[in-house]
């Protein structure tokens, strides 16, 4: 059975992907330092996949630990989710972000080479595109991130492009996610931000459950139909399926792939609030406030290449995104319970 090391596998996207990997017959080993996730996730991954999953608590920057892990397991591939992802925090703590996301990735890639593991999927982000002056981003959109977090993602992409040039046996997928939302349909796993959520969907759902009094809508004076920002929200289950498809596609025919994972259909903040109200039957109080620094008015994916290369496309729409988020939130009002 093919074994995959999933760094950051107890996190939001990693946990959903781990289940789909196990269901697709991969043996899953998770490495996570629990800086933004809970150990309890592992039991839920096992419960939902009905398969045993190995969990190692530790840091991707720990050379010795990685050497031990690679000596104890024979991996076919690595999916590298581990990273810090809060844009505002990255501006305040750039060294922490470069150390964790860039130095951490270098340690991981170095130990992969030493162990002879050359197949990798890397969690990149639409943030690498910055502000190109148009709203539909293809993979050829210029790479010019406008914040520290985005630069850490671009640096790791650059490292991987250089690694591939220096050692052609690498097989690498750079997957650029747009705005992941939603949860496993069981409501057993979902997004569980520690502290105040930075992102729209977890904030809305915490308002719905009563943990927060109202949502701040960051600006209604954008040049969009209702004045609020438009984004390409993608269901995390579709995203997870994209990883399984990428893992199966990587090989001699497709040794290096760079793909947008989005739906291609953007929604506004007000549309997301309405959809969530429909799904939950709960009114979401909100207040229009000023724009958030660094926000763009609108962007979404051209996701044609992922369809062509992977035969993958997002299937789940806005109603499922909201219904599944609400199912997770209402059955786990305090998340996994330790934040
Ligand atoms: P998450 O925070 O839920 O998951 C990341 C996991 O990595 C966490 O469990 C955290 O504890 C772990 N981690 C962080 N640093 C680590 C380290 N040094 N060693 C070991 N484990 C470490 O985030 P997520 O939303 O699941 O995102 C997964 C990946 O996808 C990240 O790399 C993120 O940058 C990227 N991404 C996320 C989004 C998004 O909006 N959620 C969008 C684009 C890209
Ligand atoms: C969506 C829309 C906000 C919160 C970020 C990262 C990006 C990627 C995904 C990792 C915007 C509005 C939000 C709130 C609001 N992550 N909003 N009130 O900023 O598109 O993308 O997450 O790679 O890199 O930048 O996502 O969910 O924060 O915002 O009005 O409390 O909701 O202004 O229009 P964003 P988001």
Write the DSSP string, 182-232.
---TTSSS----SSS--SHHHHHHHHHTTSSS-EEEE-S-SSSTTSS-EE-
The answer to whether 230 touches 126, Cβ cutoff 8 Å, is: no
The answer to whether 164 touches 170, Cβ cutoff 8 Å, is: yes
Query: How much is the pLDDT for 98?
Result: 98
The answer to whether 250 touches 120, Cβ cutoff 8 Å, is: no
For 67, half-sphere exposure in the C-beta direction (CA atoms, 13 angstrom radius) is: 4
Q: How far does the centroid of ligand 1 lie from the alpha carbon of residue 85, in Å?
A: 6
Q: Is 281 helix (H, G, I), strand (E, B) or coil?
A: coil
Task: For ligand 2, pick from 135, 179, 213, 214 the residue to mutate: most ligand atoms within 8 Å of CB.
Answer: 179
Residue 175 vs residues 201, 303, 311: alpha-carbon distances, Å: 21, 11, 15
| CB distance 292 to ligand 2 below 6 Å | yes
Q: Which atom of ligand 1 is nearest to the CA of 177?
A: 43
| CB distance 221 to ligand 2 below 6 Å | no
Kindly tell me the burial class for residue 336, based on how many C-beta atoms sit within 10 Å of its own C-beta (0-12, 13-18, 19 or more): middle
Question: Which residues of 62-118 form beta strands (DSSP E)?
Answer: 77-80
Q: How far does the centroid of ligand 2 lie from the alpha carbon of residue 233, in Å?
A: 10
Sign, Cα dihedral of 262, 264, 265, 267: positive
Query: How much is the pLDDT for 336?
Result: 87
Residue 37 CA to residue 258 CA, distance in Å, equals 27
The answer to whether 239 touches 233, Cβ cutoff 8 Å, is: no
Would you give per-residue pLDDT tens digits along the chain (339 residues)? Answer: 699 999 999 999 999 999 999 999 999 999 999 999 999 999 999 999 999 999 999 999 999 999 999 999 999 999 999 999 999 999 999 999 999 999 999 999 999 999 999 999 999 999 999 999 999 999 999 999 999 999 999 999 999 999 999 999 999 999 999 999 999 999 999 999 999 999 999 999 999 999 999 999 999 999 999 999 999 999 999 999 999 999 999 999 999 999 999 999 999 999 999 999 999 999 999 999 999 999 999 999 999 999 999 999 999 999 999 999 999 999 999 888 744
> Using CA atoms in the order 106, 37, 317, 222, what is the torsion angle rounded to 10 degrees?
-80
| CB distance 181 to ligand 2 below 6 Å | no
- Which listed ligand is nearest to 203 at the C-alpha? 2
Report which of 114, 125, 40 is spatially closest to residue 78, judged by C-alpha positions.
114
> Using CA atoms in the order 67, 72, 77, 79, what is the torsion angle rounded to 10 degrees?
-70
Say how many C-beta atoms besides its own lie within 10 A of residue 259's C-beta. 26
Query: For tokens 């949860």, what's the residue?
Result: 183
User: Closest Cα to atom 29, ligand 1: which residue?
Assistant: 81
Say how many C-beta atoms besides its own lie within 10 A of residue 95's C-beta. 9
Query: How much is the pLDDT for 339?
Result: 40
Domain ranges of the chain: 3-182+233-264
Q: Which atom of ligand 1 is nearest to the CA of 60?
A: 19
Residue 327 CA to residue 88 CA, distance in Å, equals 29
Residues annotated as catalytic are 149
Q: Which atom of ligand 2 is nearest to the CA of 291?
A: 33
> Using CA atoms in the order 47, 52, 57, 63, what is the torsion angle rounded to 10 degrees?
-150
CATH of domain 3-182+233-264: 3.40.50.720
Token pair listed for 166: 């220096």
Q: How far does the centroid of ligand 2 lie from the alpha carbon of residue 249, in Å?
A: 30
| CB distance 301 to ligand 2 below 6 Å | no
Q: How far does the centroid of ligand 2 lie from the alpha carbon of residue 129, in Å?
A: 15
Q: pTM for this one?
A: 0.98
Query: How much is the pLDDT for 335?
Result: 86
Q: How far does the centroid of ligand 2 lie from the alpha carbon of residue 86, in Å?
A: 10
Residue 274 CA to residue 337 CA, distance in Å, equals 28
User: Closest Cα to atom 1, ligand 2: which residue?
Assistant: 200
| CB distance 243 to ligand 2 below 6 Å | no
């Amino acid at each position: 059975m093919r074994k995959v090391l999933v760094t950051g596998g107890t996190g939001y996207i990693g946990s959903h992907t781990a289940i789909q990997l196990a269901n697709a017959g991969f043996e899953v080993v998770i490495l996570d330092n629990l800086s933004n996730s809970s150990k309890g996730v592992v039991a839920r991954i096992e419960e939902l996949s009905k398969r045993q999953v190995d969990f190692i608590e530790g840091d991707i920057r720990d050379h010795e630990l990685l050497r031990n892990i690679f000596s104890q397991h024979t991996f076919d591939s690595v999916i590298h989710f581990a990273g810090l992802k809060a844009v505002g925090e990255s501006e305040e703590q750039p060294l922490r972000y470069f150390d964790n996301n860039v130095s951490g990735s270098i340690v991981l890639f170095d130990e992969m080479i030493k162990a002879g593991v050359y197949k990798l999927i890397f969690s990149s982000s639409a943030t690498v595109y910055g502000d190109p002056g148009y709203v539909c981003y293809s993979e050829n959109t210029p790479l010019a991130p406008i914040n520290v977090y985005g630069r850490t993602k671009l640096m790791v992409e650059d490292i991987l492009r250089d690694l591939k040039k220096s050692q052609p046996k690498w097989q690498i997928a750079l997957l650029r996610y747009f705005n992941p939302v939603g949860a496993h349909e069981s409501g057993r796993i979902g997004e569980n931000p520690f502290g105040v959520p930075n992102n729209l969907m977890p904030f809305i759902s915490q308002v719905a459950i009563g943990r927060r009094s109202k949502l701040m809508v960051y600006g209604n004076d954008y040049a969009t139909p209702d004045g609020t920002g438009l984004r390409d929200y993608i269901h995390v289950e579709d995203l997870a399926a994209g990883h399984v498809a990428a893992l199966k596609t990587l090989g001699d025919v497709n040794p290096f792939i760079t793909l947008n994972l989005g739906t291609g259909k953007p929604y506004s903040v007000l549309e997301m609030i309405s959809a969530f109200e429909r799904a939950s039957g709960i009114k979401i109080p909100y207040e229009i406030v000023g724009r958030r620094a660094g926000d763009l008015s609108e962007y979404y994916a051209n996701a044609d290449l992922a369809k062509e290369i992977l035969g993958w496309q997002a299937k789940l729409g806005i109603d499922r995104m909201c219904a599944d988020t609400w199912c997770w939130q209402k059955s786990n009002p305090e998340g996994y319970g330790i934040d």
